[in-house]
Structure 1
């Protein structure tokens, strides 16, 4: 009996000990779980959408975006940024559909001008005037927020000052005995000289439409001037003027002279860019985002290309210092955003950092007053463009972004009919005015 009692006591003691240990373990587990939940609760999650779908792209805009994104994550370890990148026109479709369903992310990429107008009209974007009173605007280059102001309210911070310029392959020009053009006559003479040597004069991927639009835009800037072009784009002026018709006539002159080759209507932007990068075309009019590709270590034209101001047109109202470009790309905040002040700190850090990284990647000048540090490794083309555009007297931004969605499609429809030879210059500019600025 005594032995049994002893065993019972021992068994009871062991059971009690196990229960105590188990209770302590459960308490520790609960504490760990609570700490994890607390950490998860305090970690701010931000959703972000952009058109930067390829993290391996050598495009300066892509490089700048991903470097800025990583720097922002490092700067704010208590923030989780969930990024979704969608390329090309698919991004525009995605963001428009999400806006209609009121399912936009916390931060999303957009363009100034007409593209953002429907989002603002639908109260989908948060005005940032009050948030920006913290001194942020003092750090930004004057005038670079113009395309993000609607009805007197600011909706986005600028990233960079983008420009389109004429890229010239010096080696091919030397082979053809052509002069680097500064005037329209010198440009057409270079076209003839390159053709005589069996070299395609200009690479153009009209299949994607917007590269064809770029040529129309810069020619209009040279014939009509940026003030008139901007007035037409903002429905304060007309496309149906002698100056716009002259620009279209100059465009037709290049098309008829086979300056863009036989198949430019069926050539994509990527194919046209590859044509220029492989040394098979003498010129390309394009944005600074191609700088990285041109100067890449594997590029066949590295060191052979220079950017120049687009040639002036005699009698035109535009000067060589008026540029196609400006500041028009940004990220904006969802109007339904929670934790506005915390997200604002992350947002403005990201935008400023991207501005710096895009510049260092050789894709446009910074729209922020940054200390870029050592620029010895900056893409030489970017430095040259910065010097060329330092005396700019005016900018006119991308037409497909300045116009709203329906007007953009109308513009592209009329433009592609014209470049295909289905309408005359006068018919084209009249149609453009009737479809986009009827009644102006």
Structure 2
């Protein structure tokens, strides 16, 4: 399979429904000085000179390498300075706390869902990105996955919405005669066969708890397509229900069976990426963010040669789509019109 670091096509995708909450912001149309309505004419040329301008970008441990290459090229092209600041995990909670106290960056990696645009008070805190010159550059359908609130766009996708599935080392598969599983039970059969041959079947980064959800999410993909999350949001089902508790129990049994790396409790995101690249593990259940992490350690040619991907679910190869903070960027209203324009220019540079 050919891997592209920014756009990943999957045969079947399901949008994970997230719970809604009340709207805390009112918004001010026409507020161009503070990043309100941004017309197409207000998008600076991508390489316009910006000597003396410093931009701050907030990112998580899982996403701080994503803007790094772009930032370096932007600095070279414009003369600006871009500081990427890593906010500790849990990223979202720490960002919301900082913003609530008035501490804002110029840009930040941020989950492009309504449920995360609401608590950051997008209407008051974020620049609108409507009419951006890069909107037409997206593949068909990408913009439909999020980034808007009440008809206004507040976040820009910098990669396709994350897809939950299995990243695997092609060389390990070939050496051990492995083929792509067509259901989760087939995945377990393969994992047990690899373990019997002395190969670590799966790598998990249990030391960074946020990614331990992916196996459970994959296991409920079929139920989600059948309306699971709608039922959960209506209190007609719950995390102790058959689908979710069953997925959690199966994940726990996989750990108990020793199908993961020995250091699962302390394993990190960086270690997971390196282990898969090095063939120290055959597979990892994760999202696109793992591909970005591996991409920061090697080049696209090596990725295409070594790493493959397949979706998985309980009954088949259904993929779950899950937009996350590694996929999108928001630009803040800082009260500094020059820096706000420079932030829009950075997005223009990145996406065109």
TM-score band by shorter chain is: 0.5 to 0.7
Answer whether contact 1:173 1:179 (CA < 8 A) is retained.
yes
1:211 aligned to 2:208? Answer: no
- Asked whether the equivalents of residues 171 and 304 of structure 1 are also in contact (C-alpha less than 8 Å), the reply is yes
**Counterpart contact for 1:207–1:264, Cα < 8 Å:** yes
Shift of 1:302: 8.1
Q: TM-score, normalised by structure 2?
A: 0.67
- Is the Cα contact below 8 Å between 1:147 and 1:327 reproduced in 2? no
Equivalent pair of 2:54/2:82 in contact (CA under 8 Å):
yes
Residue 75 of structure 1: how far off its partner (Å): 4.9
Gap change, CA 1:247 and 1:68, over 3 Å in 2: same
| In 2, Cα distance between equivalents of 1:110 and 1:63 | 14
Give distance in 1, aligned partners of 2:285 and 2:248.
Answer: 16
SS of the equivalent of 1:118 reads coil
Deviation per CA, 1:362-396: give whole Å up to 9, x if none: xxxxxxxx6xxxxxxxxxxxxxxxxxxxxxxxxxx
Partner of 2:280: 280
1:144 aligned residue: 143
Matched, 1:354 2:350: yes
62-71 or 250-259: which moved more? Answer: 62-71
- Structure 2 partner of 1:22: none
Match of 2:169 in 1: 169
Name which structure has the greater RCO, CA cutoff 8 Å, separation 6+.
2
Alpha-carbon distance between aligned partners in 2 of 1:267 and 1:110, rounded to the nearest angstrom: 24
> Does residue 1:289 correspond to 2:288, yes or no?
no
1:306 corresponds in structure 2 to: 308
- What do residues 209-248 of structure 1 show as CA deviations (whole Å, max 9, x unaligned)? 122111111212144328534x478778743443333333
- CA deviation string 1:318-337 (max 9, x = no partner): x6353343465333233343
Alpha carbons 2:58, 2:105 under 8 Å: kept: no
Decide which structure has the larger Cα Rg and report it: 1
Task: Give the number of aligned pairs.
Answer: 295
In structure 2, the CA distance between the partners of 1:354 and 1:239, relative to structure 1 (3 Å rule), is farther
For residue 269 of structure 1, what is the aligned residue in structure 2? 269
CA offset at residue 64 of structure 1? 5.2
- Cα distance between partner residues in 1 of 2:175 and 2:237: 43
CA distance in 2, matches of 1:139, 1:175: 40
Tell me the distance in 2 between the aligned counterparts of 1:218 and 1:50: 29
Q: What CA RMSD, in Å, does the superposition of the two structures yield over aligned residues?
A: 3.8
Distance of aligned partners of 1:228 and 1:304 in 2 relative to their CA distance in 1, 3 Å threshold: same
The answer as to whether partners of 1:191 and 1:201 remain within 8 angstroms in 2 is yes
Query: For the residues of structure 1 that align with 2:169 and 2:248, how far apart are their CA atoms?
Result: 26
Q: TM-score, normalised by structure 1?
A: 0.56
The structure that is helix-richer by fraction is: 1
Deviations 1:119-165 (A, max 9, x none): 21793223x1xx62366544444343643223443222221113343
* Offset, 1:51: 1.9
Structure 2 gaps of 5+ residues are 1-49
1:243 corresponds to: 243
Q: Secondary structure at the match of 1:179?
A: coil
2:335 corresponding residue in structure 1 = 337
**Residues 58 and 109, structure 2, Cα contact 8 Å, conserved in 1:** yes
Shift of the 99–166 alpha-carbon distance from structure 1 to 2, 3 Å rule, reads same
Deviation at 1:196, TM superposition (A): 0.9
1:70-85 map, 5 Å: 70-77=72-79, 80-85=80-85
Alpha-carbon distance between aligned partners in 2 of 1:245 and 1:136, rounded to the nearest angstrom: 43
* Counterpart secondary structure, 1:264: coil
Give the C-alpha shift of residue 193 in structure 1: 0.7
- Aligned with 1:144: secondary structure? helix
Residue segments in structure 1 that go unaligned for 5+ positions in a row: 1-41, 54-58, 356-369, 371-440
- 1:49–1:304: structure 2 CA closer, same or farther, 3 Å change rule? closer
